[in-house]
Amino acid sequence: MSRPLRLAYLSLETPRPGQASQTHIDEIIASLREHGWRVELFATRGGGASTRSSFVRRLMGYARTQAALGKRLRDFDAVFIRSHFMALPLSLWARWRNLPVVHEINGTPADVGVTYRFLKPFSPVFSWLYRAQYRRAALLLAVTPGLVDWARRFAGHHRVSLVSNGANSDLFKPEGAPSPIEGRYVIFVGGLVAWHGVGTMLAALKEPSWPADLRLVIVGDGIERDKVEQALTDPRLVWLGRQPYDAVPALLRGALAALCVIENQDGRSGSGVAPLKLFEAMACGVPVIASDLPFQADLVRNADAGVLVPPAAASAIASAVKSLSSAPDKAQLLGRNGAAYVAREASWHQRGREIDRLLRSAISQ
């Protein structure tokens, strides 16, 4: 009987409860373990934009985490990296030891300059760091077709496959505990970062077309928390901060709709977006109000699971909220369509099968 394959998972983005990055990491590891892999996570333990820690502290964390994994590379059959510009040392180290390295790509190097504006002048450096890793990779996994095309051009090879995000269909489903929040509300679940449209959804709440009896519930934290704190003078705004992963489904189930109003700042979303929040809301049977961006819009349109709005359009968000509020039967139908789509095509069980097949193929080459 052959031994289980062993995978080292490297994340230089500190996993934190309530953040999409931790959800993504946990779900991929769990799904691969279902397929017989032995997976060990190597992740930084401190820092990150939401904690406002110093860059020096983060650099030290990057070095310690990669050194810990580097010393144990002989214990693994492959290395899976959640794409990060500072992972180049480990990428080269693993390549030198002839270990296949797989990078999971959720965005382009432009994301760094969007999140940290003061780093934007250094974009060419970040691009070089990413390209140096991607060119040497055994396999690149991208979450949208647009990112697949971009990665092939950027890396200069075709060892790129599409594996999108998904939802934990055992946890996120229409049936389950009711919401602890009473009354009618629309919900946003996610990081409070620039491209998630935090300012735009807060502006939508002030639009005349936003129903007066409908609240906006925000679940999450991040570098744009100041905008939310300043808007709390509006009694219709409820900010819950980060919530435990298993508490989110009930909050979603009670909502009239879920906001996925990602914006295209500096072109960072032009290659498509596939946010976890979209799949999880759909899995709970909640209609989504989503910005009209590649992949996300195609998915919502094809599944008939929500309403599309132009990016960064507060009035359009408010109008969509009003439309769903005044047509509850339609809202319920859109929600059922979304839940059926996720159960059929986008659970983490299905994503795990895809990643398992691709990893085994990369190792065998």
Report long-range pairs for 208-214 (Cβ below 8 Å, ≥24 apart). 208/318, 209/315, 209/318, 209/319, 209/321, 209/322, 210/318, 210/321, 210/322, 211/184, 211/321, 211/322, 211/325, 213/183, 213/184, 214/184, 214/185, 214/186, 214/256, 214/321, 214/325
Shared domain for 85 and 145, answered yes or no, is: yes
- Per the structure, how many domains does the chain have? 2
The answer to whether 5 touches 36, Cβ cutoff 8 Å, is yes
pLDDT more than 90, % of the chain: 82
The answer to whether 363 touches 77, Cβ cutoff 8 Å, is yes
- Name the range with the highest mean pLDDT among 53-62, 117-126, 285-294: 285-294
Pairing of strands 78-82, 101-105: parallel
Shared domain for 271 and 194, answered yes or no, is: yes
Instruction: Assign 146 a pLDDT band (cuts: 50, 70, 90).
Output: very high
Is the model's pLDDT at 140 over the cut of 90?
A: yes
Examine residue 1 and state whether it is found in any structural domain, yes or no: no
pLDDT value of residue 49: 52
Instruction: Assign 112 a pLDDT band (cuts: 50, 70, 90).
Output: low
**Residue matched to tokens 């950027």:** 154
Examine residue 60 and state whether it is found in any structural domain, yes or no: yes
Shared domain for 61 and 87, answered yes or no, is: yes
pTM assigned to the model: 0.91
Average pLDDT of span 126-149: 96
Shared domain for 211 and 333, answered yes or no, is: yes
Instruction: Assign 266 a pLDDT band (cuts: 50, 70, 90).
Output: confident
Examine residue 174 and state whether it is found in any structural domain, yes or no: no
**Residue matched to tokens 């077709």:** 145
Shared domain for 141 and 250, answered yes or no, is: no
What is the domain range of residue 209? 185-345
Examine residue 107 and state whether it is found in any structural domain, yes or no: yes
Examine residue 299 and state whether it is found in any structural domain, yes or no: yes
Is the model's pLDDT at 85 over the cut of 90?
A: yes
Average pLDDT of span 85-103: 96
Shared domain for 354 and 304, answered yes or no, is: no
Query: Phi, psi (5° rounding) for residue 61?
Result: -65, -40
Bigger pLDDT: 237 vs 2 = 237
Structure tokens at 98: 């002839």
Structure tokens at 9: 């998972």
Shared domain for 134 and 145, answered yes or no, is: yes
Shared domain for 12 and 161, answered yes or no, is: yes
Shared domain for 155 and 189, answered yes or no, is: no
Shared domain for 52 and 162, answered yes or no, is: yes
Examine residue 230 and state whether it is found in any structural domain, yes or no: yes
Examine residue 172 and state whether it is found in any structural domain, yes or no: no
Shared domain for 205 and 279, answered yes or no, is: yes
**Residue matched to tokens 């939401």:** 50
Examine residue 294 and state whether it is found in any structural domain, yes or no: yes
pLDDT value of residue 59: 87
Domain holding 196: CATH number?
Answer: 3.40.50.2000
Mean pLDDT of the chain: 93
Residue 162 Cα distances to 30, 139, 185, 315, angstroms: 19, 11, 35, 34
pLDDT value of residue 231: 97
pLDDT value of residue 53: 65
Shared domain for 189 and 318, answered yes or no, is: yes
Q: Tell me: the pLDDT tens digits for 153-197?
A: 999 999 999 999 999 999 999 999 999 999 999 999 999 988 899
Question: Alpha-carbon distance 243 to 54, whole Å?
Answer: 25
- Please choose, from the candidates 265, 266, 330, the residue with its C-alpha nearest in 3D space to the C-alpha of residue 291: 265
**Residue matched to tokens 């995978």:** 7
Q: Tell me: the pLDDT tens digits for 222-257?
A: 889 999 999 999 999 999 999 999 999 999 999 999
Structure tokens at 203: 């502006």
Is the model's pLDDT at 118 over the cut of 90?
A: no
